[in-house]
Each structure stands twice: as structure tokens, then as C-alpha cells.
Structure 1
Amino acid sequence: MKEFYSNGKLLITGEYAVLDGAKALALPTKFGQSLEVKNIEENKIRWNSFDENDKLWFQGEFEFENDQFQLITENNETSEKLLQILNEAHKLNPNLFSAKKSGIEVNTRLNFNRNWGLGSSSTLINNIAKWFEVDAFKLLKNTFGGSGYDIAAAQNNQAITYQITENGASVLKTNFKPDFSQNIFFIFLNEKKNSREAIAHYWELPANNRKGLIEKVSSITEQVTNCQSLTEFELLINIHETLISKTLQTPKVKQERFPDFPGAVKSLGGWGGDFVMVTGEKVEVFEYFNKIGYSTIFAFEDIIL
């Protein structure tokens, strides 16, 4: 039996702009996904996906014939995407299954709610890449697309800066647990954002909208990474929100949803869903957001690896 594990992620700075080459700050989370592979007697691939409550949410069966994976069970969006990932992984390493005679069972397990947007797709891609012994960034590019920061977070156990350069992805480990981390909280907005749709929307924007964004966001990332005070941190994330808001021509999340919240509020990842990062005192944060229906709240130390 083989088992693999990958970390989830939160993108602190650089959402959208990272696609154009801006430097971003990403934090791996204490939540992630495992993938277990074991041999079975039946000559097929039996796939089981379990959620954080150990409940089976997807089951599918595949066969490997004529140098490709084929679906045995009924087609649906999940099975079709998984089929694509397996075939792309096989193209990158045809040796793993070419000589295989017996069947296998694959069990994947999330330890977080898959609606949270912490990386159910990126952790799966990274685990399959480990299993096939292929480049996870190439596998991501050939399947879901995106910048790849989430793959970098899946592979690291500390904060990283991530940047797409002419020579490929630049992944640098950094330290990000500021003295004021007890004043940083992450709140789920009760809805998941489709990252592929968010990326497509960004690419549809006029080039002039994105002009100058890379340098400004990269500078903010550097400053956030080296930030010494909560006041400075709040100023920087407010500037970041303003830049992305103007680029997307979309209202800031604080303006739209939490105008009377006294602390800073920053969108993370695709705007309009998943998590926001907020600053404040613990009692104040929990009271405010619980009162208006947001009950999934994490302190920095409870979610960041």
C-alpha cells in the first residue's frame, strides 16, 4: 500500500495578479487531503472519495485498456475530470501502468469541508502527481490550469512566496507568523467560488485594467512578508483590496458585506466566495460574524501550518 498527503492553501496576497507574474504570499494549511493506493484482485481501478466526516461522496470505476484509462461507471462531472487527470498523468509517465496486471483501489480523504475552497482540487492533483512520479505543475497545467501557487503550497510546510517567471515558477520559503497573528482570523463566506470561472473572468479584462498591477502587488507582498505591526498590516491589505477592486471593477467585500466591521477585511482567492481574512480582537470578531450568520471562523494558529 502507498499513501500520499498534500496540504491545503490560503492565498494571502496576489489573487488574480499572480496569473500575470506578480509575487504572491501563500500559506499552507493544517487541512489537506490524503490518497491511498492498494492492490486488489479485480482487474480494474476502484476509486472512493471520502469527506471530512468519512462519508463517501464519490465512487467510480475505471479500466486501463489500449494505453489509456476508460470509465466503467456512469459519466458525471467528477468522473470525467478524474478520467482526464489520470490520462494526463499517464501521458507524463506511461511506465506506471504499462506493465500493471492487477487492479487497484484508490481512497482519497479530505480533512476539511470541500466547499471551503482550501484546495480539494490542488491537493488531489499533487497527490496523483506523487503517485505517478510526475511534475505536479505540468499536471495542473494540462488539467485545471491556474497559476500553480496552490501546488507549491501543497508541497511545502511553511509560508512561501510564489511567482511565475520566464524560467518557470519561483517558490521561496519564508517566515510568516507575525507577532500580531493572534489578531488575524479567517472566515468562510458560506459559498464556494469556482476558481476556473474566476480565472476566466480575469483574463477577459482589458489589458489596461491589469497594467501596473504586477509591480504594485509584488511590492505589497514583500511588505506584508516583512510587516512588523498590525496597523501596517491592515494598511497594506486595504491597499491590496483597492487595487484588485479597481482591476476587477468589483466592490470590496467589506464595502459590500461588512461595512460596519471595525477591523480590516480582505478577500482571499476568487472574489465573492471562499474565505476572507479579517483583523481584530478575538471576542469582537466571533461576536460580529456569528451574529450575521458566519460561523466558520478560524484563528491564525488553528488553520495555518
Structure 2
Amino acid sequence: MKKEFYSNGKLLITGEYLVLNGAKALALPTKFGQKLIVENGTNQEVNWISYDADGSIWLDIQLSFEDILGKTILEESESVKNTLIEILHQGYLLNSDFIDNSEGYQITTQLTFPRNWGLGTSSTLINNVAQWLGIDAFVLLNNSFGGSGYDIACAQNDCPILYHLENGKPIVEKVTFDPEFSENLYFVYLDKKQNSKAAIASYYNNNNSHLADDIVTNDKITQEVLNAKNLHEFAFALEEHEAKMSTILEMQTIKESLFPYFNGVIKSLGAWGGDFVLVISKENPDDYFNEKGFKTIITYKDMIL
């Protein structure tokens, strides 16, 4: 019996890092995502094939039920396989039927965005697996990959959301965010995939014990971003957010480090230093970024659901 599942990708507009400590984050589901197709298999194993957006196969592996049940850890070169085993093992602990009452599976995943873009290859997978197994995706994320869970919330919603953690529990609020100035908003890929798991670990290891005032400031800025009536108010709020996070992380902003002479605002999205940035510009910025070697520039309407 064939089953299909789909989850949206994500972009985090405000609240990066601080969302891990309970700050409110504005997050936007994308028009890009990932599909999971599950069919019956044999031999007490999972035959897993993953396709990139261009149709190329980037993963083709077999996972035995024995490996999943025992959470077999393979050598470091098999990191993707280890991650899948971990996710499916945790899935089994939450719903054992999918292995106890099965002969095997043929599983196919299909991304609609290049997997190096950082729009949620892992989160869309975890949410799809959770849909398939009928389990809580936030619990599966927490038990396997870790993170705040805002990306799971985007995977599950087709509209902008405000997201925060309250006593460790995800709180998702659907919000209206449809800026009249969206034609001045662009997303530029920095040609550098960030490891979200590593970025989160680094953040935890550095400075997150005295952030109460910073969280209050973040929440105020997030509300200003949501309520912005024009491009000037929106840009001012995001510049303030970027400056605040630069101080907290003790890192240069992406504009300071890569685009100091750009006539506009550039805001990091998610883990700093890679993936996409949000560009606010009164003029089409394609020529500027193309000259700098950045060729992937996507308009707001083409990116956001």
C-alpha cells in the first residue's frame, strides 16, 4: 500500500538562537519542501532512496530492522545513515507497530529545493516520518536531532507563525504577515550550507545563561517586524535585530563581513554564516550579488507560501 506525505520548508526571520531559550520567533513556511513515499517491502529491511531537486539520487541505502532496533552506529563516513537509524529508532520507541507488524519498506524522498539550501532537509524528513508513524513530530525531533522545533511548526503550517517554547513545550501562533512591500524583499543564498546542529551546540557552549533582557528585546523587535506598516519600519527593526544578535554572538553581521557597501539591509536567517539571508532593497539587487558571485536570488513571492 502506497502512502505519501509532504512537509514545508522554513525560513526563520527573527529569533535565531534565542528561540532555544524561549524567545518568540517569526518563521515563514516556504513554497519548497519534501515529499515522503512509503511502499511495502521485504526482507525485514528499509530500502531508502532520496532524490535531490534536480532528480539526482543523493542517497541509496538499505537499513535492516535489526540495525534500527539496536540503533547500530556505523563508522563516521556513514553519518547520514546513522542519522536515519537514529530517527527511525526513536520512531520505533514511539510506535513499535511500524516494524513489529511489517515485512519491510521501500521509501522514497523527493526534495523540491536543492538540499544544500538549508530550507529544512532534516525537519521536513522528521515531520514526514512522524506523519507516517502517527507520532508527535516535536517529540521525534527532540529525541533524535534536537533544536527548538520552529522548523517542525513551519513544516506543519501553510501560513506565517509566531513560535516559542514555554516550559519546553512548543507554542505555535498563526499570524498575518503579508507585507505590501514584499516586492522589495529578496532571499540570497550564500553558497555555504550551515550545520544547524553544530551551530546550536556552539551557541549552548558559549553564552546563553544571562539572556532574559535580550529575550525581552527580541520579542519587542519581533512584534515590530510583524506590525511594520512600511519598508522603513521593517528595515529598521531587522537592522536592530541584527545588531543585537551580533553583540550576543560576538560575530560580525553578514553585511559587515561580506557586503559592507550594499545599499540596503541584509538580515541573517537561522544559523549565522550560511544558507539564505534576507535582503531589503529598493532596487533589484541581482546585479550587485551576481557580481559578488552569488547567483541564487529568489523573490519573496517565489519563496514564501
* TM-score, normalised via structure 1 length: 0.95
Specify the code of the residue in structure 2 equivalent to 1:28. P
SS across alignment from 1:271: coil
CA offset digits 1:99-123 (Å, max 9, x no partner): 22x2210000101111111000000
Q: Could you report, residue by residue, the CA deviation over 1:252-304 in whole angstroms, capped at 9, with x for unpaired residues?
A: 11111111111111000000101110111353x11111111111001000000
Q: Which residue of 2 aligns with 1:250?
A: 251
Residue 128 (structure 1) shift: 0.5
For 2:91, give the aligned amino acid: A
1:81 aligns with 2:83: yes
Moved over 4 A (4+): 69-75
Cα deviation for residue 63 of structure 1 reads 2.0
- SS of aligned partner of 1:8: strand
Q: Which amino acid aligns with 2:5?
A: F
Q: Give the aligned partner of residue 96 of structure 1.
A: 98
Unaligned runs of 5+ in 2: none
- The aligned counterpart of 1:38 is 39
% identity of equivalent residues = 46
3-state SS of 2:240 partner: helix
Out of 268-277 and 90-99, give the one that drifted further.
90-99
List alignment gaps of at least 5 residues for structure 1: none
In structure 2, what is the Cα distance between the partners aligned to 1:72 and 1:104?
21
- CA distance in 1 between counterparts of 2:219 and 2:50 reads 37
Matches within 5 A, 1:23-172: 23-65=24-66, 68=69, 76-100=78-102, 102-166=103-167, 168-172=169-173
Q: Does the aligned pair in 2 maintain the 1:10–1:27 contact within 8 Å?
A: yes
**Displacement after TM superposition at 1:42 (Å):** 4.3
CA offset at residue 179 of structure 1? 0.4
The alignment partner of 1:176 has SS state of coil
Note closer, same or farther for the CA distance 1:4–1:289 as it changes in structure 2 (3 Å cut).
same
**Which stretch has the larger CA shift, 185-194 or 161-170?**
161-170
Alpha-carbon contact 1:63-1:69 (below 8 Å) kept: no
Question: 1:172-187 residue pairs with structure 2 within 5 A?
Answer: 172-187=173-188
Contact 2:71 2:86 in 1 (8 A): no
What's the counterpart of residue 271 of structure 1?
A: 272
**1:105, 1:132 → 2: CA distance?**
15
Q: Is the 8 A contact 2:68 2:89 kept in 1?
A: no
Quote how far apart the aligned CAs of 1:66 are. 9.3
Change in Cα spacing, 1:113 to 1:66, as seen in structure 2 (3 Å) is: closer
* Distance change (3 Å), C-alpha of 1:198 and 1:175: same
2:60 alignment partner, SS class: strand
Tell me what 2:16 maps to.
Answer: 15
Report the counterpart of residue 191 of structure 1 in structure 2: 192
Task: Kindly provide the amino acid, as one letter, of the partner of residue 270 in structure 2.
Answer: G
Residue aligning to 1:218: 219
SS for the counterpart of 1:45 is strand
Q: Aligned in 2, Cα 1:174/1:287: closer, same or farther, shift over 3 Å? A: same
Tell me: CA distance 1:159–1:66, structure 2 relative to 1, closer, same or farther (3 Å): closer
> 61-70 or 215-224, which moves further after superposition?
61-70
